[in-house]
Amino acid sequence: MQATTMSDDRRIADAQRLLAELGVSVDDLRDAQRPQVPTIAEYLPRVVAAAGPGASRTYGSYWARIAAQWGDRRLDSIVATDVEALLRQAAAVALPRRNGRGGRHAGEHVIAAVRAIYNRAVADGLMDASDSPAHRVSKPRRLPSTRRALTPEELEEINEVARSSGNDVVLDAILLRLHTETACRRGGALALRLMDLDRDRGLVRLTEKGGTLRWQPITLDLAASLYDHARQRGAVLPTDALLRFRHGGAITSRRYDHLWKRIGERLPWVAAQGISTHWLRHTTLTWVERHFGYGVARAYAGHTDSTGAATTTYIKADLNAVATALSAMTGQPHPLARPTDASA
């Protein structure tokens, strides 16, 4: 065994001497085995093709900016200083929004967009993870969220404005009610199809962040309203969108933008605080947590991640518990609710 080890050491020493005589290092040999490192413009289409729709929607504008500034540069020519400069530029020219945080979100998205490029390059064997300049730049620290649960009076004011103004009060009222009952995100509502509605059992099937899918209880009144709304506006096939304009087309995220802009014009405190659809999620989940506990609120929100304390693995609630919380919140019976838990 010892003789074999000495023989291996001798061969390694001989190889090192030969490389030294040739003026070649081990790193040179490793680099020679790698494919030619492409430019940003050459490689970015591969990153875009491999990205999901959510990433493309979030980072698309930043990738376009990266291509415009660095398109003719090779991936291995970008350094951390370049990434930091791009971050500052993005933060400086970020459009002011109702929920803006001084360009922090833009800076965060720039770093994530550049990291997506280099993560793909590492996965493709074009470079080592330690060579990524994007991972040497820290993301801007997130500030605490200003979102909070709305009071019952504030929620009623918002609904009253939605029901009494605008060019489609029926649609806007359904949107607010859907988000209040389910605490779903905008993406989950926009993805709803006719086949995702179970009127008899009071359920909608939500597809949200990360492709997560779950059945969420809704009141039978809302289930009937959603069905009537969709059918009256042209939904026929199971795959047809559930939420629709009066002309029959499926709504987009722009409907939410117009809705909250209109509400903010009539309720100045809504505009001042930057209240949006996500505040309805906070409102509902806060109520559920206060009355039914963390486990039910976590299930109500559709959270499936395992981050946090180890006890989150064991704190789970089923569909019946969520339906029971919904029934208590709305004051309406639900087919899946547990009557014995309703007064808990």
Positive or negative, the Cα torsion across 208, 214, 215, 216?
Answer: negative
CATH superfamily of 152-341: Intergrase catalytic core (1.10.443.10)
Q: Rounded to an integer, what distance in angstroms lies between the CA atom of residue 147 and that of residue 207?
A: 23
Sign of torsion, CA 71 73 77 79?
Answer: negative
pLDDT band at 102 (very low <50, low <70, confident <90, very high): very low
User: What average pLDDT does the structure give for the chain?
Assistant: 86
Indicate whether 321 pLDDT > 50.
yes
Tell me the per-residue pLDDT of 116-161, one tens digit each, with 9 for 90 and over: 999 999 999 999 999 999 899 887 776 667 789 999 999 999 999 9
- What pLDDT band is residue 175 in, cutting at 50, 70 and 90? very high
Query: What does the domain layout of the chain look like in residue ranges?
Result: 40-136, 152-341
Q: Give CA–CA dist 79/197, Å, rounded.
A: 51
The amino acid at residue 103 is G
Average pLDDT over every residue of 105-116: 88
